[in-house]
Chain A
Amino acid sequence: MNKVYSGADQAINDIKDGSTLMLGGFGLCGIPENCIAALVKNGVKHLTCISNNAGVDDFGIGLMLQKKQVRKMISSYVGENAEFERQLLSGELEVELIPQGTLATRCMASGYGLPAIFTPAGVGTEVAEGKEVRIFNGKEYLLELAFDADFAIVKAWKGDTMGNLIFKDTARNFNPLMAMAGKITIAEVEELVQPGELDPNQIHTPGIYVHRIFKGTGYEKRIEQRTIRKKS
């Protein structure tokens, strides 16, 4: 089976209006830049996007928000995006804010074949509204369901043509979890190599989870908060 695609345009070509997408990354770190650009160009609409953040106004998922391609966002933190906040407060955009660990674990559950998990995050808050509460060892936990996503779109550092993936530094974040959770998983990688070139001990995501892979180009890798110290 050939998993290798020519590029982002081809890899996202069959994503239809109204699809549910998972998009990897934390802030702008480890986001699938090529696929986001292709989605913006392609113009697909009414998307539900599951992603920890919503980019910034002019980069990442922010580019899709500007073009009003997103119907619903499921995220944990959206503080860096003024356009997001405007669409949210005006009611144009439906938003479900959920705790970051819950988001990660609901992705994980999906990839592990588990329908739901219990977590203490959000007990006693508005996040708990309408959810089943169970007590284990005297402590309250919320029942949270595994995500059901049509596509997971992730960014890895290296991958091979069989779909095995290795992530770099904190660009790993949600990527391996979402890679496991998509009905169809699309991976864009900085380096695409032949089978055998990656050390099997070092692979983070086994290729069985990855359906499409391509070598990305032109990564901007924008930094949100450039913080440095002086050489003394």
Chain B
Amino acid sequence: MALDKFQIAQRIAKELKDGFYVNLGIGIPTLVANYIPEGMNVELQSENGLLGMGPFPFEGEEDADLINAGKQTITTLPGSVFFDSAMSFGMIRSGKVDLTVLGAMEVSDQGDIANWKIPGKMVKGMGGAMDLVASAKNIIVAMMHTNPKGESKLLPSCTLPLTGKRCVKKIVSDLAVMDVTDEGFKLLERAPGVSVEEIISKTAGKLIVEGEIKEMQF
């Protein structure tokens, strides 16, 4: 069975380490916050100007002045800090953020990523994504392996305008966990019940399969 978006987030949460400063993008990446292991200290950075993002507020306690990068109402935690947008991207560019998780429309087997524009159809803008991918030490992409038409989103090269070049380090899709290496995607794990053959057939870019590929553990 392919993973649902919650399971993708759950699997990504296993990549977190104690003491990490983490930036979670909009969509599936945001859900990773729900699976931070008990007792682990992970500080969430929201690029609109908050370090130490807390959970959603209780009803009636929402504050329009306190939102995350997805414009959702949120709360602070003990030790939280606010800052302006230049400092926010200063900490991103200077490599202080340990891990960035974001979504993608396409990823190439060289680690290029496209997630901000479909020419002639959709222009939402890159927001902070180009800054994040250009500077983050470690980037994990959370994505569906194929588009709704069943076409692979893991390609030899991106067809859409790029967000960044050679920056993605790891991908967690609904079918597999892969590293991005100099030689291409390297298959590490498969979703429970998903065959290696299915992953190969749905990966258009170069996929390296070596030895036995274990099922993901949660």
Q: Which of A's residues lie within 8 Å of B, judged by CB?
A: 26-30, 52, 75-80, 85, 88-89, 95, 97-105, 107-108, 119-127, 157, 167-177, 204, 221-231
Contacts and interface: CB of A to CB of B under 8 A. Distances in A.
Nearest to A174: B85
B85 A52 contact: yes
A157 B64 CA distance: 12
Contact of A122 (B85, B93, B134): B134
15 contacts: A28-B71, A77-B125, A77-B127, A78-B125, A95-B123, A99-B127, A101-B88, A101-B128, A102-B131, A121-B134, A170-B49, A172-B83, A177-B84, A229-B56, A230-B58
B85 A104 contact: yes
A30 to B, nearest CB: 7
A85 B63 CA distance: 28
Contact of B131 (A121, A124, A171, A176): A121
B76 to A, nearest CB: 8
Contact of B161 (A75, A102, A125): A125
B46 interface: yes
**Chain B at the A interface: SS class:** loop
A231 B110 CA distance: 46
A125 B86 contact: no
B72 interface: yes
Given A121-B130, A168-B65, A174-B84, 16 more contacts: A29-B71, A77-B125, A77-B126, A78-B125, A85-B123, A97-B125, A99-B131, A101-B131, A120-B134, A121-B135, A125-B164, A170-B48, A172-B82, A227-B73, A228-B73, A230-B59
B49 A26 contact: yes
B62 interface: yes
Interface string B129-158: 111001100000000000000000000000
Interface residues of B, number: 56
Contacts of B67: 26-27, 29, 170, 223-225
B55 interface: yes
A56 B68 CA distance: 17
Contacts of B63: 169
Given A223-B73, A231-B58, A101 B89 contact: yes
A173 to B, nearest CB: 5
B128 A99 contact: yes
A226 B86 contact: no
Given A125-B165, A175-B84, A225-B72, A100 B123 contact: no
Given A26-B48, A173-B48, A97 B85 contact: no
A89 B123 CA distance: 8
B2 interface: no
Contacts of B47: 100-101
Interface string B99-142: 00000000000001000110010111111111100110000000
B192 interface: no
Interface in B14-66: 46-50, 55-59, 61-66
